[in-house]
Amino acid sequence: MAKCVIRGETIEHPGSRQDLGKVDISGIDKGEVFETDGFNTQNGPICKKCTPIYDEALARVESADPFLSPKKLRKAVKELIEDPAFVAEVIRDRTRTELEQAVSNIELQFPLEKQFLLHLRGLIKPPETSSPPVTDTTLPQGMLSPDEASACLLDEERSSAFIEAFLAKLKKLEKDRESVEIVDAGCGPIPIFGILAAIRSPKAKVTCLEINPASAQMAEEIIKYLGLEDQVKVVLTDATTYKHNSKIDLLISETMYAGLINEPQIQIMRNLVPQVRQTGTIIPEEITVEASLIPPYDKTGFPAFKDNNTGNIPILDKHFVLTPATVANYTRNQLEGPISFELDVSDIPDGHYHVTLGSSLRLGKNAQGEEIHLDGIASPITAHQPIINRVQISAATKKVLLQYEPGENLVKIHPTTT
């Protein structure tokens, strides 16, 4: 099989540029040219991925001297396509252009579908680098691995809602500010909000906070690769203690799980919300915790599951023996206190049960002035999850009691009865 002379990739079906005529690169991207994976050129076979690199080299050489002989033209093109710096430059510029095009029309895409997010993630990826990656050690509670964090972008209902709210707030803020100070607490390896803000607004100044060294390194490489380092900074730090050097206009953090367990969303907000300007704003604006009760699956059968890139979501509607009820509420003005509640179980049959915890989020208004919410089985950060430790209910049991701090590890949460 043919090998691409630029990057050595196998070309399954090399075609002829002469037969196909002048190649329309946009047609290749849209899948309109599908007969071939690459092309035979005067300099050898070129894979479809590297076609823009070859075309740019050819255009530069011809522009510099349109009267070169075929032999000198081939030699000059060969020198360019063998230059790693040139190849990296073309890939970076093309990626940046594609990203800007995708982001410029993003309002027309809401709600965002997985295919669009896959395209976005494909564009926002770390470049090939010679620097050794930071290796993960044992991750402390609340810290996601780069792979886990990267998968969150493909949780389409969650990502769509957060991105829509973020862009609407950014647009509103930039109208009457010379610059917009943004902090993204827990950016993960793909600093999507920093990238979106920098591309959409020259006024945006973004600080992305990340506690995982491997994720922070990847995020920083992406920002530099896209040429956004003048507007976006990645800081390796603990967002629960970080002190910003100026007042924040827009704070966004999505570091949570259903019922506010496992991840330090509220601790981060307790630290950073006081650093937000009085006329500034936060995302999410409100987080509500819900609780309910279900029998063990071995008694009632396993529920149906909704597929999700971050793990299957149990659909518990038919399993609830208590209607889910609000048990805690956190807003910008109310972030203190544990999650503490009682469930009335005086009418529940004897047996073993699991308390379930879920959440609902109010993120803010979109460009049309409509409230953006996440609830139900929209995402693992909202869908009810059963607590591992069971409670036993008997005729004498009147209440199930539970108290825990936001961010507590699920296995450490123990409901009691009275």
Compute the average pLDDT of residues 53-69.
94
pLDDT of 321 over the 80 cut? yes
**H-helix or E-strand spanning residue 276:** strand 276-283
Residue 11: which of 43, 34, 36 has the closest Cα? 36
Measure the CA–CA gap between 189 and 126, rounded to whole angstroms.
9
More confident residue, 70 or 24: 70
Taking only the tens place, the pLDDT of each residue in 374-414 is 999 999 999 999 999 999 999 999 999 999 999 999 889 99
Compute the average pLDDT of residues 96-114.
91
Measure the CA–CA gap between 234 and 170, rounded to whole angstroms.
19
Compute the average pLDDT of residues 109-127.
87
Taking only the tens place, the pLDDT of each residue in 167-222 is 999 999 999 899 999 999 999 999 999 999 999 999 999 999 999 999 999 999 99
For the chain, the average pLDDT equals 90
User: How does residue 282 score in pLDDT terms, banded at 50, 70 and 90?
Assistant: very high
Amino acid making up residue 36:
T
More confident residue, 204 or 127: 204
Measure the CA–CA gap between 107 and 104, rounded to whole angstroms.
8
pLDDT of 130 over the 70 cut? no
Share of the chain above pLDDT 70, in %: 90
Q: Measured at the alpha carbon of residue 20, what is the angle toward residues 18 and 22, in degrees to the nearest 5?
A: 75
Asked if residue 32 lies in contact with residue 20, where contact means CB atoms within 8 angstroms, the answer is: no
Burial 126-137 (b: 16+ CB within 10 A, else e): beeeeeeeeeee
Q: Where are the alpha helices (DSSP H) in 7-113?
A: 17-20, 25-29, 51-64, 70-81, 84-104
Taking only the tens place, the pLDDT of each residue in 335-355 is 999 999 999 999 999 999 999
* Burial tier of 66 (Cβ tally within 10 Å: 0-12, 13-18, 19+): exposed
Q: What pLDDT was estimated at residue 28?
A: 47
**Residue spans per domain, the chain:** 2-82, 106-129+139-282, 286-417
Measure the CA–CA gap between 264 and 97, rounded to whole angstroms.
36
* Terminal Cα-to-Cα distance of the chain (whole angstroms): 73
CA–CA distances in Å: residue 393 to residues 240, 345, 404, 410 = 38, 8, 21, 21
User: How does residue 22 score in pLDDT terms, banded at 50, 70 and 90?
Assistant: very low
**H-helix or E-strand spanning residue 330:** strand 325-331
SS3 341: strand
Q: What pLDDT was estimated at residue 167?
A: 97
Residues in the chain: 418
User: How does residue 16 score in pLDDT terms, banded at 50, 70 and 90?
Assistant: low
pLDDT of 19 over the 70 cut? no
Asked if residue 250 lies in contact with residue 170, where contact means CB atoms within 8 angstroms, the answer is: yes
Residue labelled with tokens 């965002």: 112
pLDDT of 128 over the 70 cut? no
Measure the CA–CA gap between 306 and 70, rounded to whole angstroms.
59
Question: 128: which 2 tokens?
Answer: 């090939």
pTM of the model: 0.85
Compute the average pLDDT of residues 138-150.
67
Compute the average pLDDT of residues 278-305.
95
DSSP state of 334: B
Q: What pLDDT was estimated at residue 416?
A: 95
pLDDT of 358 over the 80 cut? yes
Taking only the tens place, the pLDDT of each residue in 227-262 is 999 999 999 999 999 999 999 999 999 999 999 999
Compute the average pLDDT of residues 296-317.
91
Q: What pLDDT was estimated at residue 68?
A: 93
DSSP state of 7: T
Number of CB atoms found within 10 A of residue 64's CB = 9
Compute the average pLDDT of residues 304-308.
91
- Domain 106-129+139-282 grouped into CATH 3.40.50.150: yes
Q: What pLDDT was estimated at residue 21?
A: 46
Residue labelled with tokens 């050898």: 44
Measure the CA–CA gap between 364 and 358, rounded to whole angstroms.
20
